[in-house]
Amino acid sequence: MMPELGKYAEAVLSSYAVSIMLIVVLVVASVTRARRVKRELESVEKRGRENAEG
């Protein structure tokens, strides 16, 4: 299944490893921050509504 990469195997595999790792880190960081900010905003809005109601 694995293609024969010959003497360039290290270069090709390291390119794929670094690129995929950077993309995964970017996606995970974006999703994590999105969820955290959404949760925090909901909590601040809820507090604001409770304060307004007295």
Site string for other proteins, 23-52 (x = CB under 8 A): x--xx--xx-xx--xx-xx--xx-xx--x-
Closest CB 15 distance from other proteins, rounded Å:
5
3-state helix/strand/coil string of the chain: CCCCCHHHHHHHHHHHHHHHHHHHHHHHHHHHHHHHHHHHHHHHHHHHHHHHHC
**Among positions 11, 52, 53, 54, the unique one binding other proteins when judged by CB under 8 A:** 11
Closest CB 3 distance from other proteins, rounded Å:
6
